Amino acid sequence: MSSADPQTVPAQSFLFEMTGELSDANTAQTTTHNSIVRVMLEETSLELDYLIPENLTHRIKLGSRVHVPLQGRKAVAIVLQLLSESPHLKKLRPISDAIGSKAMFTENLLKLAQWIAAYYLCPVRQVLRTMLPEAVRNKPESFLSDSHISLGQTLNCEEIEKLSRSAPIQARIIELLREHGGEATLSFLRQHLPRATQVIHILAKKGLVTRSEIRVERDPFADEEFLPSAPLTLTEEQSAAFAHVLQSLENPTLAKPMLLHGVTGSGKTEVYLQAIGRVLEKGKTALVLVPEISLTPQTIERFKCRFAERKQRIAVLHSHLSDGERHDEWYKIHEGRADIVIGARSAIFAPLENIGIIIVDEEHEPSYKQEEAPRYHARDLAVVRAKLEGCPCLLGSATPCLETYVNSCEGKYDRLVLTKRTDGKSMPLIRIVDMRLEKRKTKDGFSILSEKLRLAIQQRLDRQEQTILFLNRRGFNTALSCMECGAVCKCIECAVSLTYHKKDHRLVCHVCGMRRLPPKKCEACGDPSILFAGYGTERAEESIRTVFPTARIARVDTDSMQKKNQLRDTLKAFRSQKLDLLIGTQMIAKGLDFPNVTLVGVLNADLALNLPDFRAAERTFQLLTQVAGRSGRGERKGEVYIQTYNPHSPAIQFARHADYQGYAEQELEHRKHGPYPPYTHVILMGCRGKVANHAEFTLQTFANRLQSDLPETAQMGEVCPSPLEKAHGQFRFQLLLRTSKVRPLVAHLQGVLANMTLPEDVIMTWDVDALSLL
């Protein structure tokens, strides 16, 4: 494929073109230091000029959040430019005050915000709001504090004995301080002595202790112990890949993004760790993105153990942190107290400076795509930010997304290949189980476990080896239907069937969360012969406990892992072999390394295969390959059983042979005829509302206006109902646009949207480089 051919421009190729423009933008603005600033109001995106008062000269910088006077009140704004003059100089009012002691956005983050706004068609204000965690945005610098108590004047044994008789609590506090090196926090002392606060006040007056206020970090890993680990010896393939990464570190401005394409268990993480080690030696920092679902305690533990000497300088950002923990981790980065940042999608906005490398692990994961506006893709932003920061970007995966793969084939990215597992370990043997044949063997035609998989699990239990069973569907039963009329119990707000959760005895909608009791008879015809059908992880767990009553079993899904640290504790128990069998959703499909796991069972491989989405087969192949990779990572050979009703599917067959190359070639041939990404960009327009006709008519009107002066490089489909026709009580319609050049089409969209007034009951959305068409 020729890169000059517009039909072969992949989804990420536009990043470099636009990044180059933004890298040059604002250069003059950011090097000027004057007393006038242009700010953007957070609430309206309006840009206004203000004066910097003398008392705030040293605090207000590019990227600062400030309070400005506006129509008799204070408004929050962000400093976008430093100016030397303004046409409204005589009318300018001074800024009221600065929010925080330091600018909240770096210069490069401001440039990144502009890139996102232009590419994904959303206001800069909305992007900047997304960049700041809510806990930081609403309560900046709201740190916890504690009192640090240390021994003052020294008492001899006689004086201590006298104090013990007259004031035993005071003597006990002195004793506690001595036991802990002469110092402790007030909160610690209060755990032992509830009246410590009053007693400390008395001791301070006597000069026996001193008291000072300190900041208390809400560290999510404060109770964890991390044993130092040494770098491992690299294989020949790892060494070659690492050498290429080192070359990019030496010449970052000339480096292309790199794809580390390695099979599961090939040691990609070890390459990451050693590359980060070199970056830290140079006095720079590292940003590591991991899919939310893979951001397990095990992943964080590997980084904390490898860099144990600076474990306090590793910051973690993800959605499972409390607001206080997220606030403190963000400020650790902001204040320059973090050398390594590990986080999920939003960590791409971490205010890290002096970045030496950006790493995106499992770059194919769809969770890197934001579902709400701005609908950015963190992998693509990693490439952009690396360009802005002047550092290499390393993308890693065993099953790269086809956009990234094509970029590497065309030379836009450098491709580093790891074809073998470390230490000579072999890939697991994958067996396909045709469930159509298994269905005939059972009386009711239903089976969760095939006979082959049941026997394989029993063998592992006998040998004291471990098993992982994967099913990407929660709940007990997936549908409740009437045997008489065939009606299915559906959510009244969404066009989906309700899932039965046995533990709560409730029907639950997995789209809007609505919960209700199951009916005792059909609500359509009144017949009592209603039947629960299908199965999820809850039913699979119950069934497997019945088959293996002595096995130690745990279930991992969002229903069972709701308490804080519950996932961490469950995985720890599994790693220490206190559990025999783990059943779960995609929470256990990737990012885990358990040497004693020799069997993986995929209970239903067909769930995502038949979705009305051109990426359905790609996701199925990726998921099967990733979950199969959990098996055989230790000394013993692994085995995988994939249960399916569609055994001849190319996605399943290629996954069986771990043949990424073969799968990519046949899938790309199919995409080329669409054309679909990576041979074009897609923009998905959506319209939703309580009244179906209103939403459909609005989108059709938009499509008619868009057709006029549509860029020649763009193709427009027809307005149609979304595959999920109704969600949250709103009817949904969509329009698919395809183009070889995003910029002209986005500009055209912006013009049409600006001149169109939407009905009050209709919401319109757009998703540039959409990952899902559902």
Q: Which two tokens stand for residue 708?
A: 């006029």
What percent of the chain shows pLDDT beyond 90?
A: 63
Per-residue confidence at 21, pLDDT binned at 50, 70, 90?
very low
Average pLDDT (443-465) is 89
Report which secondary-structure segment, H or E, holds 467.
strand 466-470
Per-residue confidence at 283, pLDDT binned at 50, 70, 90?
very high
- Per-residue DSSP letter, 26: T
**Cα–chain center distance at 25:** 30
Three-class SS state of 733: strand
CA–CA separation, 129 vs 105, rounded Å? 11
Residue 221, pLDDT score = 81
- Per-residue DSSP letter, 281: H
CA–CA separation, 239 vs 252, rounded Å? 19
Reported as a single tens digit per residue, the pLDDT across 113-139 is: 999 999 999 999 999 999 999 999 999
Q: Which two tokens stand for residue 305?
A: 């153990």
Residue 439, pLDDT score = 82
Residue 522, pLDDT score = 87
Residue 14 has pLDDT above 60, yes or no: no
Q: Could you give the C-alpha distances from 344 to 16, 379, 381, 630, in angstroms and in order?
A: 23, 11, 13, 21
Give the residue, 6 or 512, on which the prediction is more confident. Answer: 512
Average pLDDT (446-459) is 92
Which of left, alpha, beta for 681 (phi over 0: left; psi -120 to 50: alpha)?
beta
Average pLDDT (488-495) is 88
Asked whether 154 and 177 are in contact (CB, 8 A), the reply is no
Asked whether 684 and 739 are in contact (CB, 8 A), the reply is no
Residue 225, pLDDT score = 79
CA–CA separation, 561 vs 267, rounded Å? 29
Residue 19, pLDDT score = 41
Reported pTM: 0.88
CA–CA separation, 427 vs 633, rounded Å? 9
Asked whether 739 and 713 are in contact (CB, 8 A), the reply is yes
Per-residue confidence at 579, pLDDT binned at 50, 70, 90?
very high
Residue 77 has pLDDT above 70, yes or no: yes
Per-residue confidence at 9, pLDDT binned at 50, 70, 90?
very low
Per-residue confidence at 3, pLDDT binned at 50, 70, 90?
very low
Per-residue confidence at 30, pLDDT binned at 50, 70, 90?
very low
Q: How many C-beta atoms surround the C-beta of residue 225 within 10 A? A: 9
Residue 294, pLDDT score = 58
Residue 223, pLDDT score = 73
Residue 680, pLDDT score = 95
Q: Which residues contact 715 (CB under 8 A, 6 or more apart)?
A: 737, 738, 739
Reported as a single tens digit per residue, the pLDDT across 176-210 is: 898 888 889 898 888 888 888 898 999 999 888 99
Q: Residue 714 forms beta bridges with which residues?
A: 739
Residue 410 has pLDDT above 90, yes or no: yes
Per-residue confidence at 220, pLDDT binned at 50, 70, 90?
confident
Look at the block and give the residue holding tokens 């070199």: 278
- The single-letter code of the amino acid at 5 is D
Reported as a single tens digit per residue, the pLDDT across 630-666 is: 898 888 899 999 999 999 999 999 999 999 999 999 9
Residue 161, pLDDT score = 85
Residue 445, pLDDT score = 55
CA–CA separation, 88 vs 706, rounded Å? 39
Asked whether 605 and 471 are in contact (CB, 8 A), the reply is no
CA–CA separation, 365 vs 373, rounded Å? 19
Of 645, 661, 604, 650, which is closest to residue 627 (Cα–Cα)? Answer: 604
CA–CA separation, 710 vs 220, rounded Å? 51
Q: Which two tokens stand for residue 643?
A: 């249960």
Per-residue confidence at 444, pLDDT binned at 50, 70, 90?
low
Residue 416, pLDDT score = 97
Residue ranges with strand state E in 12-169: 36-41, 47-51, 65-70, 73-83, 97-99, 144-151
CA–CA separation, 506 vs 106, rounded Å? 48
Q: If you write DSSP's letter for every residue of 635-688 in order, what string do you get?
A: SSPPEEEEEES-TT-HHHHHHHTT-HHHHHHHHHHHHHTTT-TTSSEEEEEEEE
Of 566, 53, 118, 583, which is closest to residue 376 (Cα–Cα)? Answer: 118
Q: Determine whether 447 is exposed, middle or buried from the number of CB atoms within 10 Å of its CB (0-12, 13-18, 19+).
A: middle
Residue 559, pLDDT score = 85
Phi, psi of 390, deg, nearest 5:
70, 45
Residue 17, pLDDT score = 36
CA–CA separation, 559 vs 433, rounded Å? 28
Asked whether 271 and 260 are in contact (CB, 8 A), the reply is yes
Of 354, 340, 413, 360, which is closest to residue 389 (Cα–Cα)? Answer: 354
Of 160, 102, 570, which is closest to residue 351 (Cα–Cα)? Answer: 102
CA–CA separation, 21 vs 743, rounded Å? 13
Q: If you write DSSP's letter for every residue of 698-719 in order, what string do you get?
A: HHHHHHHHHHTT--TTEEE---
Per-residue confidence at 51, pLDDT binned at 50, 70, 90?
very high
Average pLDDT (89-103) is 92
CA–CA separation, 708 vs 704, rounded Å? 7
CA–CA separation, 18 vs 747, rounded Å? 14
Residue 470, pLDDT score = 94
In the chain, the N- to C-terminal Cα span, in Å, equals: 30
Q: If you write DSSP's letter for every residue of 588-637 in order, what string do you get?
A: GSSS---TTEEEEEES-TTTTTTSSSTTHHHHHHHHHHHHHTTSS-SSSP
Asked whether 745 and 739 are in contact (CB, 8 A), the reply is yes
Q: Which two tokens stand for residue 640?
A: 């995988």
Q: What is the rounded average pLDDT for all residues in the chain?
A: 89
Per-residue confidence at 22, pLDDT binned at 50, 70, 90?
very low
Q: How many C-beta atoms surround the C-beta of residue 535 within 10 A? A: 21
